Amino acid sequence: MLKTILAATSGLVLAMIAGSASAQSWPDRQIRMIIPFPPGGQQEVASRILVEKLSAELGQPIIIDSRPGADGNVGTEAVAKSAPDGNTWLGSSVPFTTQVALHPKSLRYSPTKDFVPVATFGTTTFMFTVPAELPVKDLKEFIAYIKAQKGKASYAGSGRGSVVHLATEKFKQSAGLEMEMIPYAGQPPAISDLLAGRVQFMALGSVFAAPLVKAGKLKALAVMDTRRNAELPDVPTVVEAGYPDLALKSFFGIHVPKGTPEAVIQRINAAVNKAIVMPDVAERFAKSNVDAAEPNTPQQYGALIEQQIALWAGIVKAAGIETD
């Protein structure tokens, strides 16, 4: 019995030493950050800005790997199944917290049990936009216009569980509207149909919306925030328009697989916090309509994730969105 205990204890000590040595030598090779959505989206843009700084700080190249599919679940599941060695990261955002409500039976990972939060690095807003030719000038007129269409209108959705999708469904429920969602693989592919008037509405990321509104190609009816957008100061907020519950932001962050050494998590967290307070990062983020996050701990980011899971589950239920 004593020999068995000693053997087990020795094995545990050796494993701890090996884990500590691994954490101390990390990173010793290229790091991969998987974005589970198509290239060209706002999350990828912000992530590329960030990883430039993280690569310099950590001393290894960091590759952005876009792996879209199944509303973000293909790339997310790939990270969940990867080795917990700190070399594979997930670029997490709102859909990471919505899928558990939309797919309670079929989701093959848990956002809280199979992943560990590292840090959030930015937030961004969306705008309610319509084609320039649509005969409305504000949200009130838009609501009246859509009701007159009697179910013939449609909106662009960038995947089930995105802010674009769920915020619009909540808006429909709040305003008593009928609009069919036309799904697209991300925001960029949806924009051409919005511009052409093949869909009548989209909750579009500010980075895409602002230049198109300025160019007169789209109309912005409201900003999904509690404060107006600096680039389009004449566009009212959803709060001003009477829909305070639609002040919904997206966030960008990093998760790693469960089992990743704590020392590695803390080192990534420290590198992120160092980067997001750099003036040039904040400036480049701002040009992409992203607000740099305040320095935060893994525990704080984890609390945000829990809050977001509860928030979006409530929206899914209240809007009567179909789940599996």
d(Cα 90, Cα 115) in Å, to the nearest integer? Answer: 9
pLDDT 10s digits, 302-324: 999 999 999 999 999 988 888 88
d(Cα 101, Cα 161) in Å, to the nearest integer? Answer: 9
Q: Do domains 29-124+249-318 and 126-246 have the same CATH topology?
A: yes
pLDDT 10s digits, 60-89: 999 999 999 988 999 999 999 999 999 999
**Is the bond preceding residue 27 a cis peptide, omega within 30 degrees?**
yes
Instruction: Give the pLDDT confidence score for residue 22 in this predicted structure.
Output: 58
Which listed CATH number (3.40.190.10, 3.40.50.450, 3.40.50.10070, 3.30.1360.200) goes with 126-246? 3.40.190.10
Question: Consecutive 10-residue runs of the chain (324 residues): their mean pLDDT?
Answer: 48 47 82 94 93 98 95 95 98 96 93 98 96 96 96 91 90 94 88 96 94 97 95 96 93 98 98 98 93 97 97 90 82
Per-domain residue ranges for the chain?
A: 29-124+249-318, 126-246
Tell me which fold the domain 29-124+249-318 belongs to: D-Maltodextrin-Binding Protein; domain 2 (3.40.190)
Tell me the pTM. Answer: 0.87
